[in-house]
Amino acid sequence: MVDFLKGKLTSNSLRLVFPEGENLKILKVASKLNQKGMCKVILLGEKSKILDAAKDNNLSLEGIEIIDPLRDSNLDFKADILYEIRKGKNTREECLKMLKSSNYYGVMMVKMGLADALLGGVTYSTADIVRPALQIIRAKERTKTVSSSFLMIKDNNKMIMSDCAIVVNPTSDQLTEITIASVDTARLFDIEPSVALLSYSTHGSGRGVEVDKVKEAVRMLEDKQVDFNFDGELQFDTAMSKEVRDKKSPGSRLLNDANVLIFPNLESGNIGYKIAARLGGYKAIGPILQGLGAPINDLSRGSSEEEIYLLSLISLLQAQNNSLLFE
């Protein structure tokens, strides 16, 4: 997967900011990215602590930018900009205080064009990463829903599962936006999307408000005339087996077994991807945030160095894709 991602990246000038620059795992990944010339790395934190940790672990940080938000001479200027963004919701003093935390400072760097992507979460909680992203970056144009997906890999098989980390109980509107965003994510990894909107029902075999919600999302996708193959509402076995589809839903529109799975709620999505990882032997990479105006990604606090490195490359790929969209 690393070689695939490297092959997709065509620029080494993208800037990736790590708000937890004092963390040893982050330092090791930052050093690796820098030495391999993958991007411009920015570390946030107390400079002396970062340099001491690097020295103690024989890590080269030559060429890496280190910024201590508390010592930024332009912090007041950044606070003025944040205050304009948050006017009516936060005071000027509150904005200045927010920017003294590296999670807010890093997201503000992305907002101001001083960095292209942010990756954090080894010490910060998901809420600590997502909240400033929603407050400062906000959703893409014509999008209201910020969601997440996991890239699931086993041997040569790749699939997307969504939403497994952000939206607790999506409405039909939100399911529609989550589906479209998940397809965009799938295409980043050269996955030709075959999308299943999952349920405990297959085309009317079950009833209930949760089934109706998925049915409505399918209708909305039909109205939008989207450019990908999809079907729903489908049970998991129907989505994943032609033999089962031929029995349960002979008229299914899925041309191939599903490789983009849209769960009806966070509970099923979170459980589902973990079952695939623990019992099915799939490697789960993510959560990959989608629907934001710029790439901000969240790490699990138990992430390994390999997982941090992979999500770093994915964040850069998202940033590259964003820049191509606005050229």
Rounded-to-integer distance, Cα 106 and Cα 303, Å:
20
Rounded-to-integer distance, Cα 95 and Cα 83, Å:
6
How is the beta sheet containing 15-18 ordered, strand by strand? 65-67, 40-44, 15-18, 117-120, 296-298
In the predicted model, what is the mean pLDDT of residues 141-154? Answer: 92
Please tell me the least confidently modeled range out of 14-28, 137-151, 198-212, 225-239.
137-151
Upper half-sphere CA count for residue 136 (Cβ side, 13 Å): 30
> Would you say residue 327 has pLDDT above 60?
no
Q: Model confidence over 260-296: pLDDT tens digits?
A: 999 999 999 999 999 999 999 999 998 999 999 999 9
Locus of tokens 């209930």 = 208
Write out the two tokens for 1: 């997967």
9: three-class secondary structure by DSSP: coil
**Angle in degrees, CA 269, 275, 278, rounded to 5:** 140
In the predicted model, what is the mean pLDDT of residues 92-116? Answer: 97
The topology under which CATH files domain 139-291 is Rossmann fold (3.40.50)
Q: Find out whether 254 and 196 touch, Cβ atoms under 8 Å.
A: yes
**Arithmetic mean of pLDDT over the chain:** 95
Residue of 11, 1, 8 lying closest to 116 (CA atoms) = 11
Residue 65, strand partner residues: 42
| The domains spanning 1-138 and 139-291 adopt the same CATH topology | yes
CATH no. for 1-138: 3.40.50.10950
Q: Find out whether 99 and 82 touch, Cβ atoms under 8 Å.
A: yes
Rounded-to-integer distance, Cα 121 and Cα 117, Å:
14
Residue of 95, 93, 69 lying closest to 82 (CA atoms) = 95
> Would you say residue 26 has pLDDT above 90?
yes
Per-residue model confidence (pLDDT) at position 170: 97
Domain borders along the chain are 1-138, 139-291
CA distances (Å), origin 227, targets 184, 192, 223, 255: 11, 11, 12, 14
Q: Model-level pTM?
A: 0.91
In the predicted model, what is the mean pLDDT of residues 204-222? Answer: 97
Write out the two tokens for 79: 């606070």
Per-residue model confidence (pLDDT) at position 326: 39
pLDDT-derived band at 323, boundaries 50, 70, 90:
low
In the chain, the DSSP E strands lie at 15-18, 40-44, 65-67, 117-120, 147-154, 157-162, 194-198, 229-234, 260-262, 283-290, 296-298
Rounded-to-integer distance, Cα 120 and Cα 127, Å:
11
Q: Model confidence over 45-78: pLDDT tens digits?
A: 999 999 999 999 999 999 999 999 999 999 999 9
Please tell me the least confidently modeled range out of 10-14, 36-40, 267-271.
10-14
Per-residue model confidence (pLDDT) at position 300: 84
Per-residue model confidence (pLDDT) at position 177: 97
> Would you say residue 325 has pLDDT above 50?
no
In the predicted model, what is the mean pLDDT of residues 152-178? Answer: 96
CA distances (Å), origin 120, targets 24, 81, 201: 13, 23, 38
The letter for the amino acid at 102 is S
**How much of the chain exceeds pLDDT 90, in percent?**
91
pLDDT-derived band at 202, boundaries 50, 70, 90:
very high
Residue 120, strand partner residues: 298
Mention every residue, 6+ apart, whose C-beta is less than 8 A from residue 51.
61, 66
Rounded-to-integer distance, Cα 104 and Cα 237, Å:
43
> Would you say residue 141 has pLDDT above 90?
no
